[in-house]
């Protein structure tokens, strides 16, 4: 069972379907908002449209906004013997950049110098002032959304002060942010996709002129990198540190040649990197699912 909305980033679903057909695997789509948990004195059941169910193998993708129901249901099914790839707590932690950096730090995986905050301050930003610029990122931003670059931390602080709407509280939580130096002038990074402890696809991305974000959706130009590139082993270590079975890793090489992690994403798309590298990332994910469960089960 794939817990997702097929129409969201549809090319990834197309690749999963193609890989499943080639392997004789049947995929079933369930939509996250139709999950429920039924609790009684004698039993707790994970349900779909009111019916108690327990899939054999579960892949989850477009579920980021359904944390409150997705984590309990998937953990309940896992406790009953279902195979859930990407433990849900770990997947949601990876969407938070600060929690990701803390996990990477504990595992001694190289990261970019990062300052996390709800409200920035001159004192907090002081350690970034020797760099060639600063990047501000919402902790839960994806695909380059909400990222802003500044020529200096002074400009960052001034812009923050002039935009009070950025600090408006939202229900239940306020977004926190991370600030990082612009590494290597910006505009170039590496995307890796890791499955079952191996880097299965690797590419470098060059942003369009005047843009520091090297996302393919923003027009970046990609080139394939060899799997023995140093970024591959760093990506594998990053995914292991975050406790994930598979996912995407964004990395950058600093001026000293050290490969550092920018981001880890349990729900990263793989259509783009598959097209660039020719690697069957979807097939690798399904192979992991079937190996973990044992051949013959439907997903």
Note the pLDDT of residue 273. Answer: 96
Pull the structure tokens for residue 76. Answer: 């309940």
Q: Could you identify the residue written with the tokens 């013959």?
A: 296
When pLDDT is cut at 50, 70 and 90, the band that residue 75 belongs to is very high
**Domains, the chain, ordered by start:** 2-86+288-292 (3.40.50), 113-181 (3.30.1490.20), 186-279 (3.30.470.20)
pLDDT in tens, 90-145: 999 999 999 999 999 999 999 999 999 998 888 888 888 666 788 899 999 877 77
Note the pLDDT of residue 97. Answer: 96
**pLDDT value at 155 more than 80:** yes
Average confidence (pLDDT) over 171-192: 81
- Mean pLDDT across the chain, nearest whole number? 90
Which residues make beta-bridge pairs with 148? 136
More confident residue, 132 or 232: 232
Beta carbons within 8 Å of 167's beta carbon, 6+ residues apart: 119, 174
51-65, 224-238, 284-298, range with the lowest pLDDT: 284-298
pTM listed for this prediction: 0.91
Note the pLDDT of residue 167. Answer: 54
Note the pLDDT of residue 152. Answer: 86
């Amino acid at each position: 069972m794939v817990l997702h909305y097929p129409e969201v980033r549809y090319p990834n679903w197309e690749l999963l379907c193609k890989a499943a057909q080639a392997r004789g695997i049947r995929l079933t789509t369930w939509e996250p908002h139709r999950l429920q948990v039924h609790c009684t004195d004698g039993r707790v059941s994970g349900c779909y449209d009111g019916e108690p169910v327990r899939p054999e193998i579960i892949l989850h993708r477009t579920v980021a906004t359904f944390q409150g129901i997705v984590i309990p249901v998937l953990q309940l099914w896992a406790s009953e013997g279902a195979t859930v790839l990407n433990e849900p707590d770990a997947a949601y932690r990876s969407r938070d950049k600060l929690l990701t950096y803390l996990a990477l730090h504990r595992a001694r995986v190289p990261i970019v110098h990062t300052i996390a905050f709800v409200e920035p301050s001159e004192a907090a930003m002081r350690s970034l002032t020797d760099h060639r610029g600063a990047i501000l990122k919402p902790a839960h931003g994806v695909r380059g959304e909400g990222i802003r670059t500044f020529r200096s931390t002074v400009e960052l602080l001034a812009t923050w002060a002039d935009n009070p709407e950025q600090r408006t509280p939202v229900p239940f939580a306020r977004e926190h942010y991370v600030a990082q130096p612009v590494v290597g002038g910006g505009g170039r990074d590496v995307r890796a996709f890791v499955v079952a402890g191996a880097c299965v696809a690797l590419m470098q991305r060059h942003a369009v002129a005047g843009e520091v974000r090297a996302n393919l959706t923003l027009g970046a130009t990609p080139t394939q990198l060899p799997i023995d590139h140093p970024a591959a082993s760093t990506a594998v270590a990053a995914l292991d540190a975050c406790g994930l079975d598979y996912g995407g890793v964004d990395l950058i090489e600093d001026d000293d040649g050290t490969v550092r992690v920018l981001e880890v994403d349990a729900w990263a798309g793989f259509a783009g990197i598959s097209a660039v590298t020719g690697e069957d990332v979807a097939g690798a994910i399904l192979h992991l699912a079937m190996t973990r469960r044992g051949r013959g089960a439907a997903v």
